[in-house]
Chain A
Amino acid sequence: MTTPTGYDVAVIGAGIVGSAIARELAGHQLSVALLEARDDVGDGTSKANTAILHTGYDAKPGTLESAMVSRGYHLLSEYATHTGIPIEHTGAILVAWDQEQLDALPSLKDKAEANGYHRCELIDAEAVYTQLPHLGPGALGGMTVPDESIICTWTVNLALATDAVNRGVTLLTSHRVDRVDAVGDATTVHTSQGPVTARWVVNAAGLGADLIDAMFGHSRFTVTPRRGELIVYDKLAHALIDKIVLPVPTARGKGVLVSPTIYGNVMLGPTSEDLQDRTATATSETGFEFLLDKGRKLMPRLLEEEVTATYSGLRAAIDHNDYLIETDAAQRYLLVGGIRSTGLTSGMAVAEYVRDQLAAAGLALVPRTDLPAPPRMPNIGEAFPRPYQRADMIAADPAYGRIVCFCERVTEGEVRDACHSVIPPAALEGLRRRTRVMNGRCQAFFCGAEVQSLLEREIRASQNDSAAPTVAAAAVQESHR
């Protein structure tokens, strides 16, 4: 798609927001490149959030974030029905544990109304325990948010990026941006794999957005990596809870929640800790202690179950109370900054907004009439039939009957499909996000060796389909670790 003068638009960052923007722009007669520093899409802040599809009930009314989350909720819900992104409409309950929190609930309900969300209800302690029988003692009351939902954040990112590529976007992974040169009416983005030239540049670089912004001469915000650690409990804990349990929000984010996950587990977290190091994704002793302490009060029975996984993710917190989306028409540059954890929900709305901003700044947008249908993503949600449960799929292809990851019931057919998909995994981590393989309670005790050799086999096979040397190299490298 690249022309002698390069692309029409280069989008930096293939997380949920960048992928949604690339997809949206590729709905028009434009050549678009999607640049990603890492070796896979969705490998930064988008992969380790709390995976909640927010109604936006608690956003600050009147902000761009409020509007984007509210619109994004509907866009993504609709998109999910076409692509098969798993969503469960579990609903949430904010639980008040002291008088101050209880007193705050009516104003939160008012806030929800101001955000255009009208389905919250205040409930008494008895109603809280009726809906959450395993909640720890001491709840005084609550507020329901019936439309808060759980979603597969990995599939969201992958669906948007796959759709973008199907629409003709050039995905350039392992392209870390080092500097930019604006010359005439084109900007050259110098990356770790050489220059990429485009007329317009969209910065959706998440944790690195302020650094890219500085390359364009701006100094309007600073990203502070905010570490959030999570504990994921065994699927056997799922019977304890079927709704998201939210704390009454404080100034420091949404606090610690307990929630079922789309994969059938129960999640406790996140912590919220401002750091300096943008690569500090280690888990910590203090983080675990903090979460266990919270968990003991929230749902003591949960702590008797086994821990299946612990995660640590970084959110891109900025020194600004709202999303920061601003056009620099002179440099044909647009910043998408400060998209916090709500970006999972708002991403598609942000993409529309960015599209309109670019049009207003002079980018000619001619809609395409020949767009491919949205991709149908493999279902990795627990509430919907998966290949191992489907007699029709197994009859058509016995590879869907050979379960290779026992805990998560992932079949050989699914691993194979992922390796031959539009955006194949670069390594084991990417395969885990596409299939759930090795994400279960045994953490590779039974399946690790088998999955690794299957991945290597399929990646070799996919190399024969098409040249994908970086993929193979990464897999081989990983196999020697």
Chain B
Amino acid sequence: MSTTHTVDVAIVGGGPAGLTAAAALSRDRALNIIVLERESAAGGIPRHSDHPGYGMRDLKTFISGPAYARRLTDTAAAAGATIRTNTMVTGWADEKTLEVTSPRGRELIQASAIVLATGARERPRPARMIPGDRAAGIYTTGHLQNVVHLKHGTVGRRAVVVGAELVSYSAVLTLKHAGCQTALMTTEYPSPESYAVFNLAGKTPLLGVEVATRTRLTRIIGKPVVRAVEVEDLDTGERRMIDCDTVVLTGDWIPDHELARSAGLDIDPGTLGPVVDTALRTSRPGVFAIGNLLHPVDTADIAALDGRHVADHVRHYLNGRRPSTEGVLIHADGPLRWVAPSVVRPGDPAPARHRLLLWTDTLVRVPTVVAAQNGKIIGRKTLPWPASPGRVFRVPSSILRDVEPGGGPVTLSLHTPLSISGRALLRNRRSRVRA
């Protein structure tokens, strides 16, 4: 019963990454590019992030999320890409054929190359296993911003925001817009250092929001609507109740990896997104992955630049070019949780923006990153920006310049300048034994 369409490139997901890839690929008018977007409008998460701060690195501008979403959509459409909204990829018919549902019907879309740009979402309450009452008034930032900015709905009067990372402040702005006061932000980390930008100069509208560090949410109370939450001081174990009628669970991202996993692509145990090399190829030839599916999450402009980066490699693939050798795997060592991309192949270009993207669980203000292979240090960089929990830590990819092709996996580790010692080397040796 399904009809089959054939395209050159199918891009799954019409957020910043997918739209930017579509625009870049469509400049070659010979290619038939389709973007499959399940929402009723393309643009992705910026559509409902109604505050400025978008487009800095990719468009060299500084605009609101909705304006940014519109501009990316218009650019892709003007370049010639077909953007299909209300169109959801529900599975794989074979290695290069997608099963698709839309009001037009049930279709099979057969593509020479597929780019996954399905993005990421915040873990909701059950995934965080927060016990207590099944109460109304609990949101993720995504849900909250959909309600407030797209549906012009209201929430409560007094909120507790869980998380104190970039997106958490976006949630506070949205709450304020909706007339809801933020009574408290909580973070399990010892310092909200990484968000200094928001606390600068006493000018932001966020000033005055108390941040409880080393604090976790332990229970939600209230039926049928939230009445209070219980929070715990992680150091003392002391618990206290905070009155509120709204709880926003922010951050704690997980990629929307269902299609990647159901395809059987290799999955990175750290990001939970597909493993990619610096050309953003997944483990299945002709299937690429970009954006926050790979690095949950970096800012929208960084996701978009993945889209620009992948275009050449998709073109090379369509022209029959294939990577020649096995890649070298890159591992992140604690407190680094993951690194993306995590495969380097000799002869491949540097990653997008010449940056490796990493995630740290510990704040290091002046971080030194060490790359080791076969028990030997092959690269070391001390960076002028901090490695902060709650945001992507970007490291110049030149740290991998001396990787030995065909050698063992490379381990990246994080140090304060004085702590690089035998311990790091020992750890690297151990990981070599494991490998």
Let me know if A388 is at the binding interface, CB within 8 A.
Answer: yes
Q: A394-B105, A399-B103 are in contact. Are A310 and B126 (CB under 8 A)?
A: yes
How near does chain B come to A350, taking the closest CB pair, in angstroms? Answer: 29
Q: Is the pair B136, A403 in contact by a Cβ cutoff of 8 Å?
A: no
Bound Cα distance A91, B247 (Å): 41
Let me know if B143 is at the binding interface, CB within 8 A.
Answer: yes
Let me know if B407 is at the binding interface, CB within 8 A.
Answer: no
Bound Cα distance A480, B154 (Å): 6
Let me know if A236 is at the binding interface, CB within 8 A.
Answer: yes
Residue in B104, B137, B142 whose beta carbon sits within 8 Å of that of A446 in the complex: B142
How near does chain B come to A109, taking the closest CB pair, in angstroms? Answer: 38
A-to-B contact residues, CB < 8 Å: 231-232, 235-236, 279, 281-285, 287-288, 306-310, 312, 388-392, 394-395, 398-399, 401-403, 406, 409, 441-446, 448-450, 452-453, 478-481
Q: Is the pair A445, B133 in contact by a Cβ cutoff of 8 Å?
A: no
Write out the residue numbers on chain A whose beta carbons fall within 8 Å of the beta carbon of B137: 481
Closest 9 CB pairs between A and B? A443-B124, A391-B1, A449-B146, A481-B136, A398-B103, A445-B142, A391-B106, A401-B103, A448-B143
Q: A392-B1, A448-B146 are in contact. Are A284 and B131 (CB under 8 A)?
A: yes
- Chain A: CB-nearest residue to B145: A449
Bound Cα distance A388, B106 (Å): 8
- Chain B: CB-nearest residue to A450: B146
- Chain A: CB-nearest residue to B258: A236
A-B contact pairs, 13 of them (CB 8 A): A232-B126, A236-B258, A281-B134, A306-B254, A310-B126, A406-B88, A444-B143, A445-B124, A448-B146, A449-B151, A449-B153, A453-B151, A481-B137
- Chain A: CB-nearest residue to B129: A288
Write out the residue numbers on chain A whose beta carbons fall within 8 Å of the beta carbon of B122: 445
Q: Is the pair B140, A479 in contact by a Cβ cutoff of 8 Å?
A: no
If A307-B129, A389-B101, A390-B1 are given as contacts, then 18 extra A-B residue pairs at C-beta distance below 8 Å, sorted by A number, are A236-B262, A285-B131, A309-B126, A388-B101, A391-B106, A394-B101, A399-B103, A401-B101, A403-B86, A442-B140, A443-B140, A445-B121, A445-B142, A445-B143, A446-B121, A449-B151, A452-B147, A479-B153
- Chain A: CB-nearest residue to B128: A307
Binds A, one of B218-226, B307-315, B334-342: B218-226
Write out the residue numbers on chain B whose beta carbons fall within 8 Å of the beta carbon of A235: 258
Write out the residue numbers on chain A whose beta carbons fall within 8 Å of the beta carbon of B123: 306
Bound Cα distance A308, B121 (Å): 13
Q: Is the pair B131, A401 in contact by a Cβ cutoff of 8 Å?
A: no
Bound Cα distance A394, B136 (Å): 33
Q: A282-B134, A402-B102, A478-B136 are in contact. Are A310 and B129 (CB under 8 A)?
A: yes
Interface positions, chain B 100-142, Cβ under 8 Å from A, are: 101-106, 121-127, 129, 131-134, 136-137, 139-140, 142
Q: Is the pair B140, A390 in contact by a Cβ cutoff of 8 Å?
A: no
Convert B30-42 into 0s and 1s, putting 1 for each residue whose CB lies closer than 8 angstroms to a CB of A: 0000000011100
Write out the residue numbers on chain B whose beta carbons fall within 8 Å of the beta carbon of A449: 143, 146-147, 150-151, 153
Interface size class of B (residues with CB under 8 A): 35 or more
Q: Is the pair B88, A282 in contact by a Cβ cutoff of 8 Å?
A: no
Write out the residue numbers on chain A whose beta carbons fall within 8 Å of the beta carbon of B38: 403, 406
- Chain B: CB-nearest residue to A287: B131
Bound Cα distance A390, B143 (Å): 29
Bound Cα distance A312, B105 (Å): 39
- Chain A: CB-nearest residue to B261: A236
How near does chain B come to A279, taking the closest CB pair, in angstroms? Answer: 8
Residue in B106, B132, B136 whose beta carbon sits within 8 Å of that of A401 in the complex: B106
Convert B52-94 into 0s and 1s, putting 1 for each residue whose CB lies closer than 8 angstroms to a CB of A: 0000000000000000000000000000000000101010000
- Chain A: CB-nearest residue to B148: A449
- Chain A: CB-nearest residue to B246: A481
Write out the residue numbers on chain B whose beta carbons fall within 8 Å of the beta carbon of A398: 103-104
Let me know if B416 is at the binding interface, CB within 8 A.
Answer: no
How near does chain B come to A47, taking the closest CB pair, in angstroms? Answer: 11
Let me know if B6 is at the binding interface, CB within 8 A.
Answer: no
Write out the residue numbers on chain A whose beta carbons fall within 8 Å of the beta carbon of B143: 444-445, 448-449
Write out the residue numbers on chain A whose beta carbons fall within 8 Å of the beta carbon of B133: 281-282
Write out the residue numbers on chain A whose beta carbons fall within 8 Å of the beta carbon of B139: 444, 448
Q: Is the pair B147, A448 in contact by a Cβ cutoff of 8 Å?
A: yes
How near does chain B come to A235, taking the closest CB pair, in angstroms? Answer: 8
Q: Is the pair B102, A389 in contact by a Cβ cutoff of 8 Å?
A: no
Q: A389-B90, A401-B102 are in contact. Are A452 and B153 (CB under 8 A)?
A: yes
Write out the residue numbers on chain B whose beta carbons fall within 8 Å of the beta carbon of A391: 1-2, 105-106
How near does chain B come to A439, taking the closest CB pair, in angstroms? Answer: 10
